[in-house]
Amino acid sequence: MNKLYKSLLPVVIALSFSVIQSHSLEKAISSDDRSAKNILRDSARHPNQTISFFGIKSDMTVVELSPGGGWYTEILANYIHYPGTLIAAHFNPDAGDYYARSRGRFEEKMESSPVYGRVELVNIDSELAEPSSIDAVITFRNLHNWLGPQMDLIFSNSYKALKPGGVFGIVEHRAKPGTSMEVMKKSGYVTEELAIKIAEKHGFKFVAKSEINANPKDTKDHPRGVWTLPPSYRLKEKDKEKYKNIGESDRMTLLFKK
């Protein structure tokens, strides 16, 4: 081994370790780039176990459907590196004032730090990406907002965008079996049966489910639906301690493949 190589070897090893660490999911979750408010919710949302269950790797091209304020985006944008890309499918700002304001706040977040440099932004009602070009599509607590034709459109576009063998991961507030569509729309809870049925309707194969995000204390019969619970607390101070003790909603965690 020549002297130059010997002298450079510790540097090469150190740099390699640094690169590996920068692509670590654990490091992305514990990163200072995340807001302190969001970190407080890790115990209820289990991001490490959930992202790992979906099989998301740092070099994948991933679509996050309807990222809202960017809770998971903070982690995914830090975790996903070249040649991977994170695509955030947010509200179409032309859909109305509420959607435009929400999209605007998200865009401001994306411009606030270099960590979001590999995040691309598309409309949730678009084709999402070129056909068969995406490794994974994931979404967190959004199905109740899509009940009806919109869910069909989003699931169909997700299937088209995914590569053969690509994964589709869903986390959603879980309704009791047999819950009616009317109650699902009002309460914010969706049955596993419906989620699986719509996914399979559009060609997905159900692979597995996990109880990572389960909460057996959630009775799912609250006055203001899922929004009665933290973090929304729609009843404000009324019975707040009771709902705080229940915690965030009981959630299904489902994995599909194309």
Query: Does pLDDT of 236 surpass 50?
Result: yes
Q: What is the pLDDT of residue 257?
A: 98
Asked if residue 224 belongs to a domain, the reply is no
In tens, the pLDDT along 34-70 reads 999 999 999 999 999 999 999 999 999 999 999 999 9
Task: Report yes or no on 21 lying in a domain.
Answer: no
Note the pLDDT of residue 3: 44
> What confidence score (pLDDT) does residue 165 get?
98
Listed in sequence order, the residues at least 6 apart from 138 whose beta carbon sits closer than 8 Å to its beta carbon are: 54, 56, 62, 63, 64, 65, 72, 167, 168, 169, 170
Q: Is 91 left (phi over 0), alpha (psi -120 to 50) or beta?
A: beta
Q: In the numeric block, which tokens belong to residue 130?
A: 């070129």
**Per-residue pLDDT, 74:** 97
How confident is the model over 71-92, as a mean pLDDT?
Answer: 97
Give the CATH number, domain containing residue 159. 3.40.50.150
Average pLDDT over residues 134-146: 98
Answer yes or no: is 5 within a domain: no
Res 6 pLDDT > 50: no
* Distance in angstroms between the alpha carbons of the first and the last residue of the chain: 49
Q: Which domain holds residue 111?
A: 29-217+252-257
Q: Is residue 17 part of a domain?
A: no
pLDDT in tens, 15-41: 333 344 447 999 999 999 999 999 999
Phi, psi of 76 (to 5 degrees): -65, -40
Per-residue pLDDT tens digits for 149-180: 999 999 999 999 999 999 999 999 999 999 99
- Say if 137 falls within a structural domain: yes
pLDDT at 212: 98
Q: How many domains does the chain have?
A: 1
- The answer to whether residue 152 is domain-embedded is yes
Q: What is the largest CA-CA distance in the chain?
A: 74
Q: Which of helix, strand or coil describes residue 157?
A: helix
Does any domain span residue 134? yes
**For 30-56, what is the HEC assignment?**
CCCCCCHHHHCCHHHHCHHHHHHHCCC
Cβ–Cβ contacts within 10 Å for residue 231, how many? 10
Number of H helices, E strands in the chain: 12, 7
CA 40, CA 182: separation in Å to the nearest integer? 33
In a domain, 46, yes or no: yes
Q: How much is the average pLDDT of 106-116?
A: 96
Q: Tell me, what's the pLDDT at 17? A: 39
